[in-house]
Chain A
């Protein structure tokens, strides 16, 4: 049973537009959420996180929104750049464990 779900395996966005990556979770005990970015043949890179006591966290071009009642979070990237093409993983922290989604591959189109 997947506790963290990224329902879109891939997403294509025009350069300069907004990229929106979505993530749903089932466990209301999760208290911290993270987004990671991964290029091929490299380890994941931490991007941005959000505590369950907040509903928004912003860092440069990246903003994460959390809707606790819907158990949904999203990552917004604006404006999208070619270097943003990668796989994005949503993760949730509960206790001593991080549970990851399966990832969404983002393609930024020229």
Chain B
């Protein structure tokens, strides 16, 4: 079956512009995660959606970042007034039940964001 997909695969934007990144999880997966990886750094957890529960937003780096998910489907990560430090690969993952370790997370290919 289809895996996690993300779009766009690459995004180049000017500083100060808003960008929207999209993630389509595996059908039936109730949990969805956003991460980012900046050059030379490890994976950074951003936000986690589990079913219809309120998401854990504590990993979002600033109030310029927001994410939405409708039900158990598509999620969008929005970055407003982008800064150069936002340049990174943004990764989305989904899992069946949202229990890390018990439940495998499947990652998408990522969106490479470059802020000029």
State the A residues within 8 Å of B (CB).
6, 32-34, 36, 41-46, 49-51, 89, 91, 93, 95-103
Contacts and interface: CB of A to CB of B under 8 A. Distances in A.
Contacts of A98: 33, 45, 100
Of listed B33, B35, B58, B100, residue having the most chain A CB within 10 A: B100
Contacts of A101: 42
A97 B91 CA distance: 15
A97 B45 contact: yes
B41 interface: yes
Contacts, number: 58
Nearest to A96: B56
A49 B108 CA distance: 20
B45 A99 contact: yes
* Interface band, chain B: 20 to 34
A102 B44 CA distance: 9
Q: DSSP class of A's interface residues: helix, strand, loop or mixed?
A: strand
Contacts of A6: 42
Given A96-B48, A96-B50, A97-B58, A32 B41 contact: no
A72 B110 CA distance: 30
B101 A89 contact: no
Nearest to B92: A43
Interface in B16-74: 33, 35, 41-45, 48, 50, 56, 58-59
29 contacts: A32-B101, A32-B102, A33-B101, A36-B43, A42-B110, A43-B4, A43-B91, A43-B107, A43-B108, A43-B110, A44-B43, A44-B91, A44-B107, A45-B107, A46-B104, A46-B106, A49-B100, A91-B43, A96-B48, A97-B45, A97-B48, A97-B59, A98-B45, A98-B100, A99-B45, A100-B44, A102-B42, A103-B42, A103-B43
